[in-house]
């Protein structure tokens, strides 16, 4: 792994901020690195203020969207809330439909079938709307590229309101309103909202139009925080405010569906990491293994006992998903070896029977072994469908654009995308994608990088230090969990390999003249044990967390890597 120590921030700014806040310089340094240089900025960071959310009407077409919904309600038109089958899409549908249903009955929900319809707005969904006398479709987390489909709906007398956050193409769909802060002609101050975040801005605008108090919208923030966490959007600006207050809702009074997922957990306070690894995968599992409407059903259920029943079914889907993605990952790794492609710049694999619902997870798993842009294909009708994942610093979306001659449809982000192509174009696409990545990806991006915020002495790691560090949460892109480096470390002799197949590393570290030992755990770092056994000094890159064991709480170093000095 490449260790990259972040550049030192301005010393005067660090000293000034440390004095203003009454904290240690090493903590002030972390804040200045994040662009927080004075007391007011620190106040906004540590105490995100819901009052500082932007006016939703600053978003292009927001007035049109509100007017079209109000027209539908005044004329008694049927409304369909349509969304993708992942966490962002299903939380968006749950949010929008439950808000509208508060005082209007003619609202239905629609999630496309992953196999029968694929990603995004579908002709099948539009036909369903037409057959059921639906005049307005509100599409969330999708639709920004649905030019032909929006036109098709218009021919059938159906209007679209699009709430998306993906990159638009050269043309914007001719919908009644297109809400997407990434539109070039949209001057909204924050363009990194997730799909559910855009949906929330729409209900915020509707609330303003109705004269509704903002406090009445707070119960929806558990859905927004879940989507922000799952979609890995930057944890700054409005996302930080929404996630911060959404976590409060999750921890104090979540909707029955989310409470049904978390009520068996022993943790009293959930973090954004818990949302990513506990709540989000279960919501996702419905769309991966069965149908996304099961997730919407769970998140809109008002009765807790019924929600527990739905959550139990989703738990089964999640268990099935785990088994399936493990098996497909093994098959894909074998395919790479047999094709003698281990030295490639990309991983592109295909099998017609692989489950479409888990190929995105498998792509991420493959990157853990072969660190490079990865696509996993499966058969989908008479086409091939793929999920793409990338490595840090490389824009897979741009790379796919370079291969567009072989692609029928694609969309996504810098680090994740989806696409379909004709079977006869698979080998041509595979060769072209390898060629593009080899020509455009800098050599250093082929090795995983650890960005280190600061070098510290282990003696600085105290409960008080950790308490202040914890208040920097919620963590995520643009506000990652601080990573530290310490030198001159040794194990006190009690270090060992732990876990199944001894894959993890558990250490008791001593540092220089410091008599204290520091507990450390390195997941999937069991192969580093010989370095520790040698008795030589080593350096470690780590984050700091709490370990709860048998009623006791202690600080623990979460190792990212260790290297010989």
pLDDT of residue 313: 92
Distances (CA, A) of 508 to 193, 537, 563: 42, 13, 16
The CATH number of the structural domain formed by 450-564 is 2.40.50.460
pLDDT of residue 514: 75
Q: Where are the alpha helices (DSSP H) in 215-358?
A: 221-230, 237-252, 256-262, 272-274, 280-285, 293-300, 304-338
According to DSSP, the β-strands at 484-491 and 454-455 are: parallel
With a cut of 70, say whether residue 49 has pLDDT above it.
yes
With a cut of 90, say whether residue 494 has pLDDT above it.
no
pLDDT category of residue 266 using cuts at 50, 70 and 90:
low
79-93, 120-134, 254-268: range with lowest mean pLDDT: 254-268
Element (H, E) at 374: strand 374-380
> Which CATH topology does 56-312 take?
inorganic pyrophosphatase (n-terminal core) (3.90.1640)
- Domain positions in the chain are 56-312, 339-446, 450-564
| Average pLDDT of the residues in 7-23 | 94
> Which CATH topology does 339-446 take?
Diaminopimelate Epimerase; Chain A, domain 1 (3.10.310)
With a cut of 90, say whether residue 198 has pLDDT above it.
yes
pLDDT of residue 547: 86
pLDDT of residue 548: 79
With a cut of 80, say whether residue 515 has pLDDT above it.
no
pLDDT of residue 545: 93
Mean pLDDT score across all residues of the chain: 94
With a cut of 70, say whether residue 207 has pLDDT above it.
yes
pLDDT of residue 157: 97
Q: Got the DSSP string for 414-477? A: SSEEEEEE-GGGHHHHHHHHHHHHHHHS-GGGGS-EEEE-EE--GGG--HHHHHHHHTTPSPBT
pLDDT of residue 74: 98
Tens digits of per-residue pLDDT, 132-161?
999 999 999 999 999 999 999 999 999 999
pLDDT of residue 565: 86
For residue 502, the 8-state DSSP code is G
| Average pLDDT of the residues in 485-500 | 91
């Amino acid at each position: 792994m490449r260790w990259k120590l972040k550049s030192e921030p301005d010393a005067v700014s660090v000293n000034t901020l440390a004095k203003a806040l009454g904290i240690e310089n090493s903590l002030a340094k972390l804040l200045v690195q994040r662009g927080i240089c004075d007391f007011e900025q620190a106040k906004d960071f540590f105490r995100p203020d819901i009052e500082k959310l932007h006016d939703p009407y600053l978003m292009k077409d927001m007035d049109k969207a509100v007017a079209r919904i109000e027209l539908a309600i005044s004329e008694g038109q049927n409304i369909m809330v349509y969304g993708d089958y992942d966490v962002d899409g299903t939380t968006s549908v749950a949010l929008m439909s439950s808000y509208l249903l508060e005082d209007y009955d003619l609202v239905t929900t629609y999630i496309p079938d992953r196999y029968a319809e694929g990603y995004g707005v579908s002709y099948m969904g539009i036909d369903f709307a037409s057959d059921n006398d639906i005049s307005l479709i509100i599409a969330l987390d999708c639709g920004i590229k649905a030019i032909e489909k929006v036109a098709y709906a218009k021919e059938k007398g159906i209007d679209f309101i699009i709430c998306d956050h993906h990159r638009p193409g050269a043309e914007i769909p001719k919908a009644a309103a297109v809400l997407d802060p990434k539109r070039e002609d949209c001057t909204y101050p924050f363009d990194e909202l997730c799909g559910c975040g855009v949906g929330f801005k729409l209900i915020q605008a509707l609330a303003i139009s109705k004269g509704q108090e903002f406090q009445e919208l707070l119960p929806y923030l558990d859905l927004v925080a879940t989507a922000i966490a799952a979609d890995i959007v930057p944890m700054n600006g409005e996302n930080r405010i929404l996630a911060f207050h959404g976590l409060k809702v999750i921890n104090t009074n979540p909707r029955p569906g989310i409470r049904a997922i978390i009520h068996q957990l022993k943790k009293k306070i959930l973090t954004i990491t818990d949302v990513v690894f506990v709540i989000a995968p279960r919501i996702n599992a419905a769309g991966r293994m069965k149908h996304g409407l099961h997730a919407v059903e769970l998140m809109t259920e008002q009765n807790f006992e019924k929600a527990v029943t739905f959550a139990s079914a989703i738990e089964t889907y999640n268990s099935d998903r785990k088994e399936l993605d493990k098996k497909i990952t093994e098959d894909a790794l074998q395919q790479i070896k047999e094709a003698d492609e281990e030295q490639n710049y990309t991983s592109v694999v295909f099998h017609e029977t692989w489950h479409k619902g888990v190929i995105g997870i498998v792509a991420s798993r493959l990157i853990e072994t072969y660190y490079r842009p990865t696509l996993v294909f499966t058969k989908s009708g008479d086409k091939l469908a793929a999920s793409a994942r990338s490595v840090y610093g490389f824009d897979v979306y741009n790379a796919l654009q370079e291969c567009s001659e072989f692609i029928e449809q694609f969309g996504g982000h810098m680090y994740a995308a989806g696409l379909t192509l004709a079977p006869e174009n698979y080998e041509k696409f595979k060769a072209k994608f390898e060629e593009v990545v080899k020509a455009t990806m800098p050599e250093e991006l082929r090795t995983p990088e650890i960005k280190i915020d600061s070098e510290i002495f282990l003696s600085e790691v105290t409960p008080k230090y950790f308490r202040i560090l914890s208040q920097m949460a919620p963590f995520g892109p643009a506000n990652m969990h601080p990573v530290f480096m310490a030198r001159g470390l040794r194990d006190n002799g009690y270090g060992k390999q732990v876990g199944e197949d001894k894959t993890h590393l558990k250490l008791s570290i001593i540092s220089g003249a410091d008599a204290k030992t520091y507990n450390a755990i390195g997941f999937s770092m069991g192969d580093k044990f010989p370095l520790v056994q040698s008795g030589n000094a080593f350096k470690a890159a780590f984050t700091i967390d709490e370990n709860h064991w048998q009623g006791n709480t202690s600080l623990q170093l979460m190792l990212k890597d260790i290297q010989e000095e």
